[in-house]
Each structure stands twice: as structure tokens, then as C-alpha cells.
């Protein structure tokens, strides 16, 4: 029986299915704590080792080497630990790439690029990454996640989303608001303001639309709330249902599970997806009827991507679907 990945996306790039949480850790202690939590919960969230804000001035090399060592360690069970480098105006960004790729290029799932002011900035850093990959004999092409947090990046967000190698667009709310020099009030950095202020919601919509139209993942900014689980879950739910974001940043372990729960597909849709895809595979992906409705490859693609999202968020999936599609 042919797998949906083979049949449904023949000749085109499938939509990347990433864990619903990108968890940021800046220090060695927090990185190790995140790795331990990932061991316990499974690969339902990514970890990003922060070599930008996490590194002390003058200790950039040591910090990047430490992060690369953790990525290559036995504690990294699932190869879902990426890294954020310095921005293009910082003197150390190229050295970040050389250290991270030189040590951990075989296991890096992504590199995050902060604070570009244009598509050209992103292109320069991607080309540098490709040069470093060749220099160190890394045969794979490491995906890039781009932080949209400046006026220039937002202005050229569609061009950035279309660049080869970009896998995710991430909204940097705090820097975006700060870049408006007080024209956007500080209350727009948290809820409900972040979902209501027109300049912020415009940015969120533009980033999400550009990402989805170009077949890459939109990732939502952090929530500043660290303890109120319902508050955290509601922020993630609004990001998912109102703005189309499929992934969200976390900055504290308390935030991981509420975000995942909010980002998961509806259970009834998962059940329907399972039944439809099993029936479709049994007929070698020809049209079928399910619950009185006609389905063909167009709807199969929708249900397959939904089932993949359910899988990466750790939802319980019927055993037959697990053995057929994820075994």
C-alpha cells in the first residue's frame, strides 16, 4: 500500500510539519533542563539553543561551542534541537555558523536568523550557511527559520517567505512593538492587546498569510505569562484559530503543554481523517465515499496534514493509522 507522502505530494514540496512548540533556552542549565523534559514528553516540542541573547558579550564563541556540544550529546534523543545565531549586524554571526555547523551540522534541524531588515539580509545569511555546510562536508541543507521583528522584514515578508531553504517565519512581538518608538503602547506586548491593536494584528496576519501561501510554517510569538495555564492556553488558541499560526514559542517549561494542547487538531477531525485515509489507501487513493460525502486527493491532502499535526503534538491516534502511516 502506497504511503500518502508518496502519492499526495508527487512532484511538489510537502508542507513542513513541525512540532507545535519552539522552546527557547539561553543558558546551559536551561538547555539541559529542556532536554530532560523532551526525554520525558517525547519529540512533541523543539528546543532552540539561544546563541544570540543567551551569550554574554565577549563569550560568544564559548556559548556557541557549548550549545553545539549539547546538540551532539547523547541527551539529544530526537535531533530536534536547533540554534539561534546573532543577527547580521553582529560581528560574530558568521563564526556562530562555523561553530554550530562545524560541530553539529549533521544533527541541526534548523538555524534561526534574528532581526533581518530585508530579504537581502536573509539571503546573505542563507548563502553563508550553505558555504559553511560545503566547507565542513555537510551534505544536507539545514532549514532556516526567520524572525520577522523589524519594519523592513515585515515590508518584504513575502519575498523572505519565498526564499529557498526557509521553513518557518517567526513573529518577534517585543522587538516589533519596541521598533515603533512608543506609537504602539506597551500593553500590546501581552493579551488582550496583542490580539487587538491594529498594527500588531496587521503584522500577525501578514506573516501568517505569507508563510502559508509559500508552503512554510508561521510561528507565533511568546506569551509573557509563566504561571496561569489557562491564560497561556488561550493565547495559543487565539494564535491558532484567529490568525492561522501552527507553532508558537515557549520561554518557560510551564508553557509547553498548554500551547501543545491549544495547537492540537480537533479530536473528531482526527477520527474522521483516520477513517478517510485508511479507506483511501485501501482503494489506492482513488475517490471514496465517507459519511455520505465524496472524497478525493484534494481532501486527502487536508486530512493527511491534519493527521501529521496530530501525530507531532502527541495526540492518541488509532493503532491501525499509527501502523500504516507512522510505523
Q: In this structure, what C-alpha cell is assigned to residue 194?
A: 496583542
Indicate whether 49 and 115 sit together in one domain: yes
Indicate whether 203 and 313 sit together in one domain: no
How far apart, in whole angstroms, are the C-alpha atoms of residue 83 and residue 194? 26
Cβ-Cβ contacts under 8 Å for 106 (sequence gap 6 or more): 138, 140
Q: In this structure, what C-alpha cell is assigned to residue 325?
A: 502511516
Structural domain that includes position 273 = 267-325
pTM summary value: 0.93
How far apart, in whole angstroms, are the C-alpha atoms of residue 307 and residue 238? 21
Q: What are phi and psi of 294, to 5 degrees?
A: -80, 135
Indicate whether 133 and 203 sit together in one domain: yes
Indicate whether 289 and 151 sit together in one domain: no
- Closest by CA position to 53, among listed 172, 197, 162: 172
3-class DSSP state for residue 206?
A: helix
Indicate whether 236 and 292 sit together in one domain: no
Handedness of CA 114, 245, 254, 308 (dihedral sign): negative
Indicate whether 143 and 285 sit together in one domain: no
Length of the chain (residues): 327
- Using the 3D structure, point to which of 263, 284, 309 is the last residue of a domain: 263
Only one residue has cell 546573532, namely 86
Indicate whether 295 and 207 sit together in one domain: no
Q: How many domains does the chain have?
A: 2
How far apart, in whole angstroms, are the C-alpha atoms of residue 167 and residue 109? 10
Reading the chain (327 residues) residue by residue, the pLDDT tens digits are: 899 998 998 777 889 999 999 999 999 999 999 999 999 999 999 999 999 999 999 999 999 999 999 999 999 999 999 999 999 999 999 999 999 999 999 999 999 999 999 999 999 999 999 999 999 999 999 999 999 999 999 999 999 999 999 999 999 999 999 999 999 999 999 999 999 999 999 999 999 999 999 999 999 999 999 999 999 999 999 999 999 999 999 999 999 999 999 999 999 999 999 999 999 999 999 999 999 999 999 999 999 999 999 999 999 999 999 999 998
Indicate whether 68 and 177 sit together in one domain: yes
Indicate whether 182 and 282 sit together in one domain: no
- Using the 3D structure, point to which of 217, 243, 263 is the last residue of a domain: 263
Nearest 5°: the CA angle 215, 144, 222 is 85
- Using the 3D structure, point to which of 221, 236, 263 is the last residue of a domain: 263
Indicate whether 138 and 220 sit together in one domain: yes
**What is the CATH classification number for the domain harbouring 72?**
3.20.20.60
Indicate whether 271 and 259 sit together in one domain: no
Indicate whether 228 and 308 sit together in one domain: no
Strand ranges for 254-313 from DSSP E: 288-290, 293-295
Amino acid at each position: 500500500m502506497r504511503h500518502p507522502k508518496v502519492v499526495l505530494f508527487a512532484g511538489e514540496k510537502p508542507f513542513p510539519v513541525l512540532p507545535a512548540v519552539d522552546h527557547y533556552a539561553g543558558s546551559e542549565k536551561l538547555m539541559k533542563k529542556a532536554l530532560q523534559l523532551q526525554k520525558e514528553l517525547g519529540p512533541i516540542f523543539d528546543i532552540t539553543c539561544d546563541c544570540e541573547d543567551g551569550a554574554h558579550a565577549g563569550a560568544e564563541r564559548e556559548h556557541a561551542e557549548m550549545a553545539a556540544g549539547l546538540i551532539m550529546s547523547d541527551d539529544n534523543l530526537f535531533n530536534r534541537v536547533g540554534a539561534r545565531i546573532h543577527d547580521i549586524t553582529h560581528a560574530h554571526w558568521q563564526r556562530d555558523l562555523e561553530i554550530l555547523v562545524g560541530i553539529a551540522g549533521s544533527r541541526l534541524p534548523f538555524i534561526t536568523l534574528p532581526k533581518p531588515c530585508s530579504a537581502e539580509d536573509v539571503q546573505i545569511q542563507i548563502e553563508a550557511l550553505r558555504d559553511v555546510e560545503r566547507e565542513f562536508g555537510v551534505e544536507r541543507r539545514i532549514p532556516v527559520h526567520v524572525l520577522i521583528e523589524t519594519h523592513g522584514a515585515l515590508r518584504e515578508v513575502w519575498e523572505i517567505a519565498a526564499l529557498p531553504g526557509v521553513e518557518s517565519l517567526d513573529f518577534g512581538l517585543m522587538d516589533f512593538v519596541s521598533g515603533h518608538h512608543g506609537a504602539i503602547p506597551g500593553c500590546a506586548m501581552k493579551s488582550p492587546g496583542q490580539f487587538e491593536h491594529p498594527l500588531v494584528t496587521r503584522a500577525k496576519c501578514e506573516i501568517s498569510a505569507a508563510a502559508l501561501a509559500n508552503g512554510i510554517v508561521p510561528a507565533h510569538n511568546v506569551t509573557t505569562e509563566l504561571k496561569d495555564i489557562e491564560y497561556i492556553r488561550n493565547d495559543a488558541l487565539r494564535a491558532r484559530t484567529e490568525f492561522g499560526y501552527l507553532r508558537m514559542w515557549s520561554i518557560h517549561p510551564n508553557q509547553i503543554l498548554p500551547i501543545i494542547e491549544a495547537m492540537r487538531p480537533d479530536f473528531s477531525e482526527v477520527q474522521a481523517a483516520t477513517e478517510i485515509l485508511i479507506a483511501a489507501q485501501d482503494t489506492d487513493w482513488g475517490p471514496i465515499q465517507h459519511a455520505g460525502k465524496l472524497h478525493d486527493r484534494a481532501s486527502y491532502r487536508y486530512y493527511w496534514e491534519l493527521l501529521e499535526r496530530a501525530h507531532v503534538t502527541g495526540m492518541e491516534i488509532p493503532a491501525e493509522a499509527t501502523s500504516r502511516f507512522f510505523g
